[in-house]
A and B are shown apart, each in its own frame.
Chain A
Amino acid sequence: MAQVITITSGKGGVGKTTTTANLATSLAMQGQRVVAIDADIGLRNLDVVMGLENRIVYDLVDVVEGRCRTRQALIKDKRFPDNLFLLPAAQTRDKDAVTPDDMIALCNELRREFDFILIDSPAGIEGGFKNAIAPADHILIVTTPEMSAVRDADRIVGLVEAYEKSNPKLIINRIKARMVARGDMMDTPDVVEILAIDLIGIVPDDESIVVSTNRGEVAVLDRDSMAGKAYNNIANRLLGHDIPFLVLDEKQGLWAQLVSMFRTRR
Chain B
Amino acid sequence: MRDMEERITLKGSRDGLRLILHPTAAWEEVLEALRKQLAQGSSFYHGAKLLIDVGERSITDVELQAILAIMAEHDIEPAALITIAPTNRTTGRQAGVETRHPDSLRSTPPPVVQGEGLFLWRTVRSGQAIKHQGHVVVVGDVNAGAEISAHGSIIIWGRLRGSVHAGVGGNQQAIVCALELSPTLLRIADNLARTPDNHRPTGPEQASLDGDNIVVVPWDAPRR
Contacts and interface: CB of A to CB of B under 8 A. Distances in A.
Interface residues of A, number: 10
B145 A154 contact: yes
A76 interface: no
A39 B144 CA distance: 30
A53 interface: no
A45 B73 CA distance: 79
Interface residues of B, number: 10
A196 B161 CA distance: 14
Q: Count chain B CB atoms within 10 A of each CB in A155, A158, A161 and give the residue with the most.
A: A158
Interface string B183-219: 0000000000000000000000000000000000000
Interface in B108-150: 123, 125-128, 140-141, 143-145
Interface string A189-232: 00000101000000000000000000000000000000000000
A141 B123 CA distance: 16
Interface in A154-196: 154-155, 157-159, 161, 194, 196
Contacts of A155: 125-127, 145
Contacts of B143: 151, 154, 194
B contact patch SS = loop
B127 A158 contact: yes
Contacts of B128: 158
Nearest to A265: B140
Contacts of A159: 127
A196 B140 contact: yes
Nearest to B125: A158
B71 to A, nearest CB: 52
Interface string A84-106: 00000000000000000000000
A209 B143 CA distance: 32
B197 to A, nearest CB: 15
Contacts of B140: 196
Nearest to B140: A196
A146 interface: no
A152 B141 contact: no
A157 B126 CA distance: 9
A196 B141 contact: yes
Contacts of B127: 154-155, 158-159
A196 B126 contact: no
Contacts of B144: 151, 154
B129 to A, nearest CB: 11
B91 to A, nearest CB: 61
B195 to A, nearest CB: 16
A47 to B, nearest CB: 32
Q: Count chain A CB atoms within 10 A of each CB in B125, B141, B145 and give the residue with the most.
A: B125
A158 B141 CA distance: 13
Interface of A: 151-152, 154-155, 157-159, 161, 194, 196
| Closest 8 pairs between A and B when the two form their complex, measured CB to CB | A158-B125, A155-B127, A154-B126, A155-B126, A154-B125, A196-B123, A158-B128, A154-B143
26 contacts: A151-B126, A151-B144, A151-B145, A152-B126, A154-B125, A154-B126, A154-B127, A154-B143, A154-B144, A154-B145, A155-B125, A155-B126, A155-B127, A155-B145, A157-B123, A157-B125, A158-B125, A158-B127, A158-B128, A159-B127, A161-B125, A194-B141, A194-B143, A196-B123, A196-B140, A196-B141
